[in-house]
Amino acid sequence: SLRAVLFDVDGTLADTERDGHRVAFNAAFGELGLDWNWDIDLYGELLKITGGKERIHYYMKNYAPPGTDRLDRDGLDSWIASLHKVKTKHYVSLLEQGGIPLRPGVARVIQDLRDANIKIAIATTTTEENVTALLKSTLGEDSLGWFDVIGAGDIVPGKKPEPDIYHWALEQLGLSAQQCIAVEDSENGLRSSLAAGLDTVVTVNDYTRVQNFNGAALVLSDLGEPTQPFAVLEGHAFD
């Protein structure tokens, strides 16, 4: 039978990218006096690079933004890390102000899984503080304890589309991929979960609906009523 569901966070639990992460990146750029602006379309392009620090690095290399020509190679990673810390501060405060709700059906599905004694876990590339802030601000202070495993950020070497974070979470759960399913919103996320051997339900959003979801068990608009997303997998042979 199904033993655990592993959830991605950004774009899956909540639409955090456009009105959350993007806004926080821009606020950090402003705070550090950088004349950079990631508008909605540019951010959509930058999303192909997962991880905030990796995304900033890619932007600097490929878009040659002003104000960073004096940074040498050795200084770059630590400069990006400190810029990214400022971004995390802005992002967390945005969530603490209740800025981002869960997507439709997410709270219900999490409750249904808990009622059915199916474990729930998180597998994300985002920073752990961001996950904590999102769960607390949407599901309440106690909700962190509902998750058997929270895999986030830099604890594994390869971010999505590498499977590392799913391998890590499965290992922590003590379960095989065949006993679990993943819920994702993006092609990078799906590549990651499939590479870890997980059957995957995709809920698309505005940034991801045009992406390639070949290999997904199911592609849905969202987890909202009146659909019963996991019923479709009933015929599946879980061990």
Asked if 8 is an active-site residue, the reply is yes
Q: Which residues contact 226 (CB under 8 A, 6 or more apart)?
A: none
Distance of alpha carbon 238 from alpha carbon 201, whole angstroms: 15
Query: Which span (31-39, 45-53, 174-182, 197-205) binds ligand XBP, by CB under 6 A?
Result: 45-53
Residue among 4, 21, 29, 162 that touches ligand XBP (CB under 6 A): 21
If residue 110 lies in a helix (H) or strand (E), which one and from where to where? helix 106-115
Q: Side by side, which strands form the sheet with 119-123? A: 149-151, 119-123, 4-7, 180-184, 199-203, 218-220
CB closer to Mg ion out of 23 and 36: 23
21 makes contact, choosing from ligand XBP, Mg ion, none, with CB < 5 to 8 Å by partner type, with: ligand XBP
Distance of alpha carbon 87 from alpha carbon 93, whole angstroms: 10
Give the nearest distance from C-beta 186 to Mg ion in angstroms. 5
DSSP designation for 160: T
Give the nearest distance from C-beta 188 to ligand XBP in angstroms. 5
Residue among 137, 188, 208, 211 that touches ligand XBP (CB under 6 A): 188
Residue 130 binds ligand XBP, judged by CB under 6 A? yes
Residue 52 binds ligand XBP, judged by CB under 6 A? yes
191 makes contact, choosing from ligand XBP, Mg ion, none, with CB < 5 to 8 Å by partner type, with: none
Sign for the CA dihedral angle at 3, 108, 228, 130 comes to negative
Task: Count Cβ atoms below 10 Å from residue 157 Cβ, excluding itself.
Answer: 7
Give the nearest distance from C-beta 208 to Mg ion in angstroms. 8
CB closer to ligand XBP out of 209 and 236: 209
Closest CA to 130 of 15, 12, 21, 19: 21
Distance of alpha carbon 183 from alpha carbon 112, whole angstroms: 15
Among 10, 15, 164, 199, the active-site one is: 10
- Residues known to be catalytic: 8, 10
| Interface residue list for ligand XBP (CB under 6 A) | 8-11, 17, 21, 50-52, 124-127, 130, 160, 186, 188-189
